[in-house]
Amino acid sequence: MIERLSRRVSTKPYIESSELRRLPDSTGEAIYGIVMMGNCTLCNSACLRLLGYSDPVELIGKHMHKIMHHTRPDGTPYPSDECRIYLAFRGGEGSHVDDEVVWRADGTSFPVEYWSYPIRDQNVLIGAVVTFVDITERKRAEHALQQSAEMFRQLMENIREIFFLVAPDPPKMVYVSPAYEEVAGRPRLELYDRADAWIDSVYPQDRCHVRSVFEQAMQGVTTAMEYRFSRPDGSVRWIHARSFPVQDSQGNLRRIVGIAEDITDRKRTLEEMDAAKAAAEAANRAKSEFLANKSHEIRTPMNGIIGMTELLLDTELTPEHAEYLQMVKSSADSLLTIINDILDFSEIESGKLQLDATTFDLRKRLEDVIKGLAIKARSKGLELLLTVHPGIPASMVGDPTRLSQVLTNLVGNALKFTDRGEVVVEVRKEVESDNFATLHFSVGDTGIGIPLEKQQMIFDEFSQADSSTTRRFGGTGLGLAISKRLVGMMGGQIWLESEVGRGSTFHFTVSLELGP
Ligand code: ADP
């Protein structure tokens, strides 16, 4: 086909050797020649292949525009007198186009980049040579790039957070999202002039810290900070900003990316919550303090009522009066138990409760507690057993009353929540060192048990595993809360194991000084 060109165009041949003749067929670029009318004089094999023809005769002599350039990318007709190739070479000029398509033999099209050059024979324009390449892949990559740039732009332009990219050394703002203007009330442009211009508007007390963090960020340190920003309208906004270094494959710092958000509203809510919590705590403390201060005034009349009722019960009474009085006594006893729980808890909460440090006989104390509860056990037909394991020191220093209170509470609960079987109290020594011993107490029962999801909550004040408990068994829900705090004050911990329907075992440890 190169032959044909040399023949038709008939000037001094372009081709001066056989090697040179082979060149056009060896390139991936499509090449064809046309005469002034636009008819094809030659085409190389890449041209045939790209356009979907197999033999040059299918193109030679044909009007190339009509064959492969007749329609624009948008599907509208492309008349040849508007064709940029034709217009250019007829004016004696070359052209370069990369936004058009050419059409294959099978009616499909593909995007091309083409160049056309006029051919002259002794200064007379005789035609043109056109080269083109298929840029489908390039267009696809460009499109993908455009799409991802567009997505990035949409994301950045629409997020409420300020997103920024800074090139370090010296700091140069590469990009800052429009949210900056919204949050700071200042133009973004100032940051492109000077990357740290925003620091001028940072609240004076925060500025020094902010500048030092900014400098660290520019060194490639990952940073996070909170600061206040003064807006031109006089309002102050709280900002939370984070920055991260971006390195190239050699580990050199390329950019700093960051995000800053306006946390004023969140901060205000937190402050309000803190204030509300502090107020609630203060009110709770005030209530506990009031009760703790009044504990004497509250207990004394109750003791008066109970004492006088007991005296009256020892006098001559009709059976009816004796029965009524007995009911007064038992109601007063229950009320005193509840009052004692509430007062104890208030005393602990207000920090007024002090533990004694007296020397006592642990074994004797335990026996007293068991004896005190034996009547209740017997009345319910339950066995109440005490096992003191070997190695328990004979005398210890601590607060025996409070220790007994914890035990009484746990054994009392065990008896309360068990209808059949036994309650077993065990004590063993866990560690002994430096004049101190840690004792491990356990109170096991064969009662109703406590569901797993309730096992933590029952140590909270006024909490009962089952809301029907108060109705069935009474109680304030304070016993375990008091026990937990007392055990904590005695350097120990309290926990439990339980299975519904099989029973519960409460454990606690205390650390006590060894007695003389
Ligand atoms: P109270 O016994 O006055 O309700 P406590 O704080 O002593 O308060 O106990 C809280 C709750 O824990 C009880 O109401 C009960 O639901 C549960 N509980 C405590 N001990 C036992 C036990 N041994 N067996 C079953 N449930 C128990």
* pLDDT given for residue 379 in this prediction: 94
Mutate which of 342, 345, 450, 486 for ligand 1 pocket (most atoms within 8 A of beta carbon) = 450
Residue 352 vs residue 429, higher pLDDT: 429
- The torsion angles phi and psi of 208, rounded to 5 degrees, stand at -60, -45
pLDDT tens column, 86-103: 888 888 899 999 999 999
- For residue 482, give the ligand 1 atom closest to its CA: 6
* pLDDT given for residue 159 in this prediction: 86
The Cα-based distances of 94 to 78, 120, 361, 424 in angstroms read 19, 12, 114, 106
Separation of 424 CA from ligand 1 center, angstroms?
Answer: 17
Strands 422-433 and 383-388: parallel
Determine which residue's CA is closest to atom 16 belonging to ligand 1.
465
Residue 293 confidence (pLDDT) above 80: no
Q: Which residue has the tokens 């892949």?
A: 137
Mean pLDDT over 265-291 rounds to 89
C-beta 504 within 6 A of ligand 1: yes
Residue 12 confidence (pLDDT) above 50: no
Mean pLDDT over 17-41 rounds to 82
**Band of residue 339 on the pLDDT scale cut at 50, 70, 90:** confident
Separation of 344 CA from ligand 1 center, angstroms?
Answer: 17
* pLDDT given for residue 333 in this prediction: 87
**Tokens representing residue 194 in the block:** 């000077």
* pLDDT given for residue 10 in this prediction: 44
Mutate which of 458, 485, 498, 499 for ligand 1 pocket (most atoms within 8 A of beta carbon) = 458
**Band of residue 468 on the pLDDT scale cut at 50, 70, 90:** low
Residue 296 confidence (pLDDT) above 90: no
What share of the chain in percent tops pLDDT 90? 73
* pLDDT given for residue 467 in this prediction: 63
**Band of residue 347 on the pLDDT scale cut at 50, 70, 90:** confident
Determine which residue's CA is closest to atom 13 belonging to ligand 1.
464
Mean pLDDT over 171-185 rounds to 94
* pLDDT given for residue 352 in this prediction: 83
Q: Which of 95, 119, 124 is nearest to 6 (CA)?
A: 119
Least confident interval from 238-252, 334-348, 371-385:
334-348
**Band of residue 394 on the pLDDT scale cut at 50, 70, 90:** confident
What is the pLDDT of the chain when averaged over all its residues?
A: 90
Residue 4 confidence (pLDDT) above 60: no
Q: How long, in residues, is the chain?
A: 516
Residue 296 vs residue 466, higher pLDDT: 296
Distance CA(441)–CA(374), nearest Å, equals 18
* pLDDT given for residue 298 in this prediction: 83
* pLDDT given for residue 19 in this prediction: 61
Mean pLDDT over 456-475 rounds to 71
Residues ≥6 apart with Cβ < 8 Å to 103: 51, 67, 68, 69, 70, 71, 109
* pLDDT given for residue 106 in this prediction: 96
* pLDDT given for residue 9 in this prediction: 46
> Which of left, alpha, beta for 52 (phi over 0: left; psi -120 to 50: alpha)?
left
Mean pLDDT over 477-503 rounds to 94
Mean pLDDT over 428-442 rounds to 91
- Calculate the CA dihedral of residues 477, 481, 484, 486 and round it to 10 degrees: -110
* pLDDT given for residue 472 in this prediction: 60
Q: Give the other-Cβ count within 10 Å of 345's Cβ.
A: 22
**Band of residue 351 on the pLDDT scale cut at 50, 70, 90:** confident
Residue 288 vs residue 269, higher pLDDT: 269
- For residue 341, give the ligand 1 atom closest to its CA: 3
Q: Which of 208, 248, 238, 240 is nearest to 223 (CA)?
A: 240
Least confident interval from 50-64, 127-141, 327-341:
327-341
Residue 112 vs residue 18, higher pLDDT: 112
Least confident interval from 40-44, 117-121, 267-271, 457-461:
457-461
Residue 476 confidence (pLDDT) above 80: no
Residue 130 confidence (pLDDT) above 90: yes
Separation of 443 CA from ligand 1 center, angstroms?
Answer: 13
Mean pLDDT over 362-383 rounds to 93
Mutate which of 334, 335, 413 for ligand 1 pocket (most atoms within 8 A of beta carbon) = 413
Distance CA(73)–CA(139), nearest Å, equals 13
Residue 11 vs residue 151, higher pLDDT: 151
* pLDDT given for residue 474 in this prediction: 63
C-beta 505 within 6 A of ligand 1: no
**Band of residue 219 on the pLDDT scale cut at 50, 70, 90:** very high
C-beta 458 within 6 A of ligand 1: yes
Residue 460 confidence (pLDDT) above 60: yes
* pLDDT given for residue 473 in this prediction: 61
Mean pLDDT over 419-428 rounds to 96
Residue 12 vs residue 34, higher pLDDT: 34
